[in-house]
Every structure is written in structure tokens, then in C-alpha cells.
Amino acid sequence: MHTLEIKDLYVSLTESPEKSIVKGLNLTIKAGEVHAVMGPNGTGKSTFSKAIAGHPDYVITSGDVRLDGESILEMEPDERARAGIFLAFQYPSEVPGVSIANFLRAAQQARLAEGEELDATAYYKKLYSKMDMLKIDRKFTSRSVNEGFSGGEKKRCEILQMAMLEPTIALMDETDSGLDIDALQVVAAGVNQLRGPNLGVLLITHYQRLLNYIVPDFVHVMYDGRIVKSGDKSLALELEAKGYEWVKQELAAAKA
Amino acid sequence: MKPPTDTDTLPPAATDSVVENPTVGIDQSAGNFSYNVDYEFDAGTGLNEKTVEYISSVKKEAPWILEFRKKALKTFESMPLPTHWATKDLENIDFNKIRYYLSQGQKPKRTWDEVPDDIKKTFERLGIPEQERKFLAGVEAQFDSEAAYSNIKDIVSKQGVIFCNSTEALREHPEIFRKWFGKVIPTSDNKFSALNSAVFSGGSFIYVPPGVKVSQPLQAYFRINAENFGQFERTLIICDEGSEVTYMEGCTAPKFSTSTLHSAVVELVALKGAKIQYITVQNWASNVYNLVTKRGLAMEDAEIKWIDCNLGSRLTMKYPGVVLKGRRARGEVISIALANDGQHQDTGAKMIHAADETTSTIISKSISVGQGRSTYRGVVHIPKHLKGCKNNTECDALLINSNSRTDTYPAITVRGDKHATQHEASVSKVNEEMIFYMQQRGLTEGQAMSLAVNGFINDLARQFPMEYSVELKRLIDLEMEGSVG
């Protein structure tokens, strides 16, 4: 079974490595599980997901991240991706002039051994079946990646890529941001389709709203660079009712 | 240097030592290709009247052509290098050390085993057919194209189309070609057109009779011989009234070059209502100066479109132009240039409006990789007495590395008040966030860069014929491989 273990992780901005944003984060995600990480702005939620994916703006100063027991810290971002880590971006980049179909084809090709050619027929068959599953119009894939997309289209494009690339661990960074309720439902339906015994999901979100549609197995509260509270889905509801102030007060009380 | 006496006796080589690297003269260290080669015809190094006489005699030319060459030589000698606007790198060309005419005859001069492995590898990765690889590597003097492609020539000749090399055309059809030869691009247009006029050999001459639409593109690629890969080829295409033709030259395989100077002249004439599309994809070895003059003359309702893609070379200077001579004539230039380390692509377009209601379009995209430099130069000229002229110019530059360079020199002169012109230019740097995004999907940094560059030129690459756009994509992948890290 695939497992992502994050051990005592410290992350800083590459340009100011002395100042930690993530400060000793521990989390284990197993395939088949959906974990939600919640927390107020600026607590390091996005930072830690990007650092795991290998974003050059961030540097891991201490701790370890292991995929199936192997540290990924020495791996390039593309190696991490090919090893099975997928990051659904909060703000996906535009790739002008490159169609979604060609982009995904290149990504699939990159997963083959040197000299091996992607079977184009099989690829399109798979692409169309995933699109049908996600109820995405076929014309969609001839558009340039994210170029001129609405917020909902961008997120749907991320879900389609996730479906095609079949990661073992998906980190979903604020997938709900900028979505109206209809788009949110569509995206959530997509994630639910992809849920299964071979995929571990980490949902980073601000609001409980998304968790009405994607019901998590575990909920973690992140504050000041650490996970300070973990529980099941009821924790999300409690947070919704009491607000993050409640967590802060509990923390302060524990320290005192 | 003796002129040939009859058709069976071939003239001796102009120099006594035949085995010598023909590419001496300019820094060879950067070049991908250089071998020792035996040539049957060799005008020797340096340029003087005797060189010109030698070339003319080998080709058994009519006296008027020899006179034309001699006059051009004087013009060449009298003109300065255009370094008051162009790069000073031109001063590094040593005209005395260049061979102006070389011909291998028909015999293969080296074996496939002698071809360096990296070149073989490049051919393989570009998917060049075996037979063509051998020619491109210089293993075979003549590409065995007759069996596969001679039917193209047969088909078009049934329509009355003349399609042959410049030597043959000037000998067999002077009544057709002499009228326009050197008229669109006069000898004195620039120093390098003068040079070409003095020493030209090879190139295609095409005449399409009135109303004939040539359905398949005519390709230099498929009828290549030693001369077509020459340094100073001369091409003239005449489309008579209402006729249409597409011509493609070059190929994306790195070209084995016997010389470090390539200076071609290409003239197009589109008579009333005719359409010419001229497509070039070239990838020169990185030691080559590629200084080419290309211009078309478009008469009433005629259309000339240049699609030009430049890769490789040390310095390319090329500004395809259209003189819009007749009412409602249309001109278009689509240009893609990629400059890698040590390369300077100085390209652009010229649109000279000379009649009412003429329209022109220029779309240029350049990519600078590493320390590569790309320069766009454009001239759009619309004089005061005309009315209803339109021009649209777009030029976009993409910089891959932080030390890459691009410059833009647009010169748009519009007089009078009944014209419409539009100019858009952009410079962008490859976005790191975008590269990370692509890497996160599993592409290596190099693959991500390639894809970004291919995306940048995608709308233009689509205008190339299928096989060219596929090769272009592969070639960009190869160029981008060393650009990161």
C-alpha cells in the first residue's frame, strides 16, 4: 500500500531560509485515505504542499518526506511527479499554444522508458473515457492548457490531469478557492470518482464547505506551521461552528 | 584553371592539392561538420575574375551570363560591408579564404562509417529516412530521388511547368528567365546579392504557365544534388497570370556544409492574380554565415507568402520581402527564428507598397536560448500618393535564459492618410512557475522548456506542411536539450 510520510518537516522560503514557515509538521497519508488540512490564512498549508512537490521557491531545512519508505527530498520535481505525487494547483499556470491533449500526452510519454513510444490510440481511448467519466466535453482538450480558462475550468483541468496521470498521492491545494457552488460540486464529484484504494488524498482547504461534498476520513487543523489538532470529519464541523479562535485559545491554554 | 574543352573532358581542379578541408577560413571549432573531401570541380580559394570565368566555363554558360557575373563581381568589390547597421561579425568573413565553386560530380566520396556518431544520432532522432541521411551526411553525392519523386516533375511538366536548376534554365529557356533574372533583386541591392550574382550555382528555376495551379508543393528537398546544397544558389520562380505554386526548400536535418558562407538569392514574380507560397526550413551548422536575399514582386491581385524558419548558423541575415506593385496585391511573411548559444538570427521582413489597396502582413516569432541573440528588422513602406493600403505587423520574442538577448528594429514609414497600419510587439521570458507546473506533471525541465517553445510558435508552425512541422518540433526538442541546468 502506498504511503506518504511527512516527518518533523521544516520549510522556509528559498530566499530567507532562516525563517521557517512550516515548523515541525508530522502527517502520514495512506492510499485509500482522504485527509483534510484546515487552518487560517498564513499558517503554511500551501507552503508545505508546494515544498513536497519540490517548488523552487521553498526549501526544506529539516525533517523528511518519504514515499513508500523512500525519501523524496533529493528528487527533482518531475521525478517526484513520476514517482506518484500529484499537486493540484491553487493557481494553475497557463501554457500558451499547448493543447491539453498534447500536454497530457507529453506527460504520459515522460513516464515511459527511453525509446518507448506512447501508443496514441490507447492514449486517446483512455483520455476520452476519463473525460466521459468526469463529464467533460471533448472539445475541451483541444484548448491551450488553462489559457483564458474560468476558475471552474482551471480546476476541472486539474482533475482531468489527475485522472489521467493516476497518482498514488494527490495534494489538492485550495481546490475550492474561486469556485461558485456549481463548479465546486462538479470538481468534488470528480475527486469522489477518483477516490479509491490506490489513491491517498490531501485536501487543503480554508472552509468546511468543500468537505460537505468530499467527505474526509481525517481532519487536521494547521496553525503556525504545525498540525495542532486531528480528528475525524466531525472536527471540521466543530471548527465551522466555533471558528479558528477556538483552536488558538486551546493552544494558549495548553501552553500556560 | 583551364576552361573545359568538350563535354567528355572535365576541367581539372583549380588547385593542385585536391584533398584539403574546404571549410578553412572561418573558425571551424564550433562547426558540427567538417571532413576532408575530394572534389572534381574546384574554383580554388579566393575570388577574382578568373574564379568567375572558371564557374561560367564549367557551366558552359552563354556570354551574357558571364558578363552579368563579371559586372556583379565589380559591384561586389566596390560595396562596403553593411556594418553601419548590421553586426560587426560580418568583418570576420575572409572572402579570400572561401571556395566559391565546388562540385563533387557523381561519386560518393566518403563512407557512412566515417560520419561522426553524433550526426548519425541526430538523423536518427529526426526520423530522416536512411537514403536521405546518407546524402545529408555527404556520403552520397546525389540523393537517389529519381525513382521516388520523378513523377512530380513529370506531372508538372505535363501542365507546361518548367522546373529545373538555374544552369539548365538559363541555357534551355533564356527567353523566359532572362526577362526577370536579376530584376526583382538587382545585383547592387546589397553586397551579398552582388556576390551571389557573381558566383551563383544551383537553385531552382520554375515557370508556371497562365492559369495553371500546381497541386502539390514543389520541393528542392526531393531533387537535391551537390549543387543544390551549394553556397550560392539562385532561385527564380515566375508564376504567370492566374497561376499558383507552393515551393519548399531546405530540410530540418543539420546540413552538412562545405562552406562557412551561404549567400543565396531568391526572386519571385507573381503576375496578375497569381499566388506563390515559398516555404523555407533551414538548420545550418553553427559555423555558417547565412546571408540571403529574398524578394517577390506581386502584380495586380497577386499574392506572395513567405514562410521562413531559421535555426542554426553563426549569423543569419534574412529579410524576405514583397514589392506590392499591382493594385490589391497581397504580401505576407511568417518568420520563426531560434538562436542558440553563439548564434545570431537577424531576421525580419520588408513590405514595399507601390500600388493602391495593397495589403501586407508580417508575423515574426523568435526564440533566444542561452547566449543566443535574435534580432527582428522590419521595413514597411507606404508612400503618400497611395490610398487604401494596409499593414499588420506582429513580432514576439521569447527569452529562455537570463543571458539570452533579443532586439527589435521596426521601421514603418506610412505617408498619406488613407492607410491602416498596426504594429504589435512583445518580449517574454519563459515563466518559472509554468516550468514548475509542467515538471509537476512529470516532464523534465528540458522537456518542459521544449513544450513551452513549441507552444509559443504553435500557431505559426501549423502553417507549415505536416512533415515540416513535425520535424520542426523534433528539432526544437533537440535544440532545447542543452538549454537548462
- At A192-234, the pLDDT tens digits run 999 999 999 999 998 888 899 999 999 999 999 999 999 999 9
Return the higher-pLDDT residue of A147 and A209: A147
- Length of chain B (residues): 485
CB spacing of A103 vs B433 below 8 angstroms: no
Residue A224, number of CB atoms within 10 A of its CB: 15
Say if pTM beats, i.e. exceeds, 0.90.
no
> Which of B350, B369, B396 has the alpha carbon at shortest distance from B312?
B369
Distance, in Å, from the CA atom of B357 to the CA atom of B331, rounded to the nearest integer, reads 12
pLDDT band at B149 (very low <50, low <70, confident <90, very high): very low
Q: Are residues B318 and B418 in the same domain?
A: yes
CB spacing of B454 vs A97 below 8 angstroms: yes
Q: Are residues B364 and B379 in the same domain?
A: yes
CB B341 within 8 A of CB B311: no
CB B169 within 8 A of CB B179: no
Average pLDDT over residues B129-155: 50
- Per-residue DSSP letter, A196: B
Q: Are residues B402 and B416 in the same domain?
A: yes
Specify the range with the lowest mean pLDDT, choosing from B95-99, B189-193, B279-283, B467-471. B467-471
CB spacing of B434 vs A93 below 8 angstroms: yes
Q: At residue B68, does pLDDT exceed 50?
A: yes
CATH topology of domain A3-91+167-255: Rossmann fold (3.40.50)
Q: What phi and psi values does residue A138 have, to the nearest 5 degrees? A: -65, -25
Q: Are residues B354 and B368 in the same domain?
A: yes
Q: Are residues B378 and B277 in the same domain?
A: yes
Q: What is the pLDDT of residue B24?
A: 35
Average pLDDT over residues B5-26: 36
Q: Which of B393, B416, B431 is the last residue of a domain?
A: B431
Distance, in Å, from the CA atom of B37 to the CA atom of B30, rounded to the nearest integer, reads 19
CB B382 within 8 A of CB B416: yes
CB spacing of B436 vs A103 below 8 angstroms: no
What's the ipTM? 0.96
pLDDT band at B185 (very low <50, low <70, confident <90, very high): very high
Q: Are residues B326 and B348 in the same domain?
A: yes
Residues of chain A found within 8 Å of residue B447, distances taken between Cβ atoms: 78, 106, 110
Give the distance from residue A10's alpha carbon to the nearest chain B alpha carbon, in angstroms.
Answer: 21
Q: Strands of B140-274 (E only): list them.
A: 162-165, 204-208, 218-219, 234-239, 244-249, 261-262, 265-270
Average pLDDT over residues B299-306: 98
Name, of A105-109, B139-143, B219-223, the range with top average pLDDT.
A105-109
CB B13 within 8 A of CB B64: no
Report yes or no on B238 lying in a domain: yes
Average pLDDT over residues B150-163: 77
Q: Can you say how many angstroms the Cα of residue A113 is from the centroid of all Cα atoms in its chain?
A: 26
Q: What is the pLDDT of residue B120?
A: 65
Return the higher-pLDDT residue of B233 and B69: B69
Grid look-up 563512407 returns B111
Q: Which of B395, B411, B431 is the last residue of a domain?
A: B431
Q: How many domains does chain B have?
A: 2
pLDDT band at B107 (very low <50, low <70, confident <90, very high): very low
Give the CA radius of gyration of chain B. Answer: 22
Q: Are residues B406 and B469 in the same domain?
A: no
Q: Are residues B221 and B286 in the same domain?
A: yes
Q: Are residues B311 and B266 in the same domain?
A: yes
pLDDT > 70 fraction of chain B, expressed in percent and rounded: 75
Give the distance from residue A235's alpha carbon to the nearest chain B alpha carbon, in angstroms.
Answer: 31
Give the distance from residue B477's alpha carbon to the nearest chain A alpha carbon, in angstroms.
Answer: 12
Report yes or no on B335 lying in a domain: yes
Q: At residue B434, does pLDDT exceed 60?
A: yes
Q: Are residues B454 and B341 in the same domain?
A: no
Q: Which domain holds residue B255?
A: 146-431
Residues of chain B found within 8 Å of residue A103, distances taken between Cβ atoms: 438, 441, 451
Is B440 within 8 Å of chain A by CB?
yes
CB spacing of A76 vs B440 below 8 angstroms: no
Q: Are residues B377 and B453 in the same domain?
A: no
Burial (0-12, 13-18, 19+ Cβ within 10 Å), A189 = middle
Report yes or no on B76 lying in a domain: no
Q: What is the pLDDT of residue B248?
A: 84
Q: What is the pLDDT of residue B233?
A: 86
Report yes or no on B218 lying in a domain: yes
pLDDT band at A105 (very low <50, low <70, confident <90, very high): very high
Distance, in Å, from the CA atom of A3 to the CA atom of A30, rounded to the nearest integer, reads 4
Q: Are residues B195 and B275 in the same domain?
A: yes
Q: Strands of B156-288 (E only): list them.
A: 162-165, 204-208, 218-219, 234-239, 244-249, 261-262, 265-270, 275-284
Q: At residue B255, does pLDDT exceed 60?
A: no
Q: At residue B189, does pLDDT exceed 50?
A: yes
Angle at B120 between CA B117 and CA B126, to 5 degrees: 140
Interface of A with B (CB under 8 A): 53-56, 76-78, 81-82, 86-87, 89, 92-98, 102-104, 106-107, 110-111, 144, 161, 165
Grid coordinates belonging to B19: 584533398
